[in-house]
């Protein structure tokens, strides 16, 4: 049981590398938080500061309302699972799992009970007498998690624990981790660069870039209401389409113009723009591939030429260009659209996103 609070946490390495800047977050007890972002954005550094493995340059870190900036790792009651498993090669699985408890001088009977209990949870009871070299990647990862479970910590930290596994195993283990969190009822902070993992695992996700938090919200909220252009394109596969347009006023109403071609703005979005008093300006328009419709020719629609189509089971991805921008449209495979077909498309206007051109901020 633990809540964790970050207040203006910064980490600067060697007096010049700003790895994490003004990180603010309140994690609730039992919450599953995912830190996600491209390589080098500061995820591991943040996790290591929580574990006490990295000094905090400035700001305050609290675990259960207690300031822990300078607390030793062993006094934080936190367990961390690493990407490379970090198992001791000469020890059996049992001894690997028991090791952390032995050095804490726990009684043998208690150690045995905890190891066997964790092995049951992870379904690795059969493997307890094996050495790591006799284990598959997935089994090693379970042992690494088991070593954290036996400690019965207040907080679990996991740094890209699945990235060394193949795609199928990764999917299976993702489901296992969700179950594990339910069973253990503990606070989890999970780091990944993989947006799918983040979207499926997190109660809330923290999206980072270049040491800065971009958005903290539920997966749903991040998908539907991204804070900026970076977040918009980071989540969702295939990624959100983006193109330049002009936000203009016509008869006192907002409307978009793309190379002179008008695109309507929904009433809902007009109200928001009006309320925020957004001035006419150049913008970036975003639309997800599933929100473009293949339609009849209408005054609103665009005629485009199909460059390529990819069949993906019952759906297909259509690649094309809208003026100079590459766009991807998700459609039903039965439409059987092929390269060089000419199709008409229109946008679900409720699902349009508008970003400020300079800053990338979401205008809606
Ligand atoms: P991530 O885990 O998101 O890939 P990291 O937290 O590992 O990112 O790194 C964030 C930034 O800090 C990167 O620019 C990285 O090069 C730098 N960095 C990480 N560890 C050190 C270190 N020990 N010394 C100097 N710079 C570091
Ligand atoms: Mg990392």
Q: Is any atom of ligand 1 closer than 6 Å to the C-beta of 40?
A: yes
Residue 83 alpha carbon to ligand 2 centre in Å = 9
> For atom 10 of ligand 1, which residue has the closest CA?
42
Domain closes at, from 234, 263, 291 = 234
Q: What is the CATH number for 340?
A: 2.40.50.100
Tell me the DSSP string of 94-144: HHHHHHHHHTTT--HHHHHHHHHHHHHHHT-GGGTTS-GGGS-HHHHHHHH
Residue 214 lies in a domain: yes
pLDDT of residue 83: 86
Residue 167 alpha carbon to ligand 2 centre in Å = 19
Q: Residues 39-68: pLDDT tens digits?
A: 999 999 999 999 999 999 999 999 999 999
Q: Is any atom of ligand 1 closer than 6 Å to the C-beta of 323?
A: no
Q: Is the pLDDT of residue 1 over 80?
A: no
The total number of structural domains in the chain stands at 2
Domain closes at, from 195, 213, 234 = 234
Q: How confident is the model over 173-180, as a mean pLDDT?
A: 92
pLDDT of residue 84: 86
Q: In what order do the strands lie in the sheet with 253-258?
A: 261-263, 253-258, 241-250, 281-287, 353-356
Residue 181 lies in a domain: yes
Q: Is any atom of ligand 1 closer than 6 Å to the C-beta of 192?
A: no
Please give the ipTM for the structure prediction.
0.99
Q: What is the pTM of this model?
A: 0.95
Residue 364 lies in a domain: no
Domain closes at, from 197, 215, 234 = 234
Q: Which residue segment(s) compose the domain that 313 sits in?
A: 241-356
Residues with CB under 5 A from ligand 2 (ion): 44
What residues does 79 pair with on adjacent strands? 156
Coil, strand, or helix at residue 34?
Answer: strand
Q: 18 and 166 in one domain?
A: yes
Q: How confident is the model over 306-317, as a mean pLDDT?
A: 96
Q: 181 and 275 in one domain?
A: no
Q: 272 and 163 in one domain?
A: no
> For atom 5 of ligand 1, which residue has the closest CA?
42
Residue 363 lies in a domain: no
d(CA 301, CA 61): 53
Q: Is any atom of ligand 1 closer than 6 Å to the C-beta of 160?
A: no
Q: How confident is the model over 216-243, as a mean pLDDT?
A: 97
pLDDT of residue 164: 86
Residue 39 alpha carbon to ligand 2 centre in Å = 7
Q: Which helix (H) or strand (E) holds 174?
A: helix 167-184
């Amino acid at each position: 049981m633990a809540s964790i609070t970050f207040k203006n946490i910064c980490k600067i390495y060697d007096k010049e590398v700003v790895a994490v800047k003004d990180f603010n977050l309140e994690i609730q007890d039992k919450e599953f938080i995912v830190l996600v972002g491209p390589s080098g954005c500061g995820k591991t550094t943040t996790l290591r500061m929580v574990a006490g493995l990295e000094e905090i340059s400035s700001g305050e870190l609290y675990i259960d309302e207690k300031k822990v900036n300078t607390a030793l790792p062993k006094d934080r009651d936190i367990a961390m699972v690493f990407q490379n498993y970090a198992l001791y090669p000469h020890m059996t699985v049992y001894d690997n799992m028991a090791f952390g408890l032995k050095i804490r001088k726990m009684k043998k009977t208690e150690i045995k009970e905890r190891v066997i209990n964790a092995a049951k949870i992870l379904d690795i009871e059969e493997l307890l007498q094996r050495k790591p070299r006799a284990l598959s990647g997935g089994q090693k990862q379970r042992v690494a998690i088991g070593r954290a479970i036996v400690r019965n910590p207040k907080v679990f930290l996991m740094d890209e624990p699945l990235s060394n596994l193949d795609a199928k195993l990764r999917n299976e283990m993702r489901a296992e981790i969700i179950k594990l969190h339910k069973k253990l009822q503990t606070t989890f902070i999970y780091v990944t660069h993989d947006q799918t993992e983040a979207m499926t695992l997190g109660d809330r996700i923290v999206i980072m870039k270049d040491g800065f938090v971009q958005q903290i919200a539920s997966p749903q909220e991040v998908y539907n209401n991204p804070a900026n252009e970076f977040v918009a394109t980071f989540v969702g596969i295939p990624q959100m389409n983006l193109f330049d347009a002009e936000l203009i006023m016509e008869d006192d109403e907002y409307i978009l113009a793309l190379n002179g071609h008008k695109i309507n703005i929904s009433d809902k979005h007009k109200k928001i723009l009006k309320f925020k008093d957004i001035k006419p300006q150049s913008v970036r328009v975003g639309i997800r591939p599933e929100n473009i419709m293949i339609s009849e020719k209408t005054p609103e629609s665009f005629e485009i030429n199909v460059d390529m189509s990819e069949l993906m089971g019952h759906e297909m991805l259509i690649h094309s260009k809208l003026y100079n921008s590459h766009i991807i449209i998700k459609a039903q495979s039965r439409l059987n659209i092929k390269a060089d077909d000419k199709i008409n498309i229109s946008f679900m206007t409720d699902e349009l996103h508008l970003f400020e051109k300079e800053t990338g901020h979401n205008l809606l």
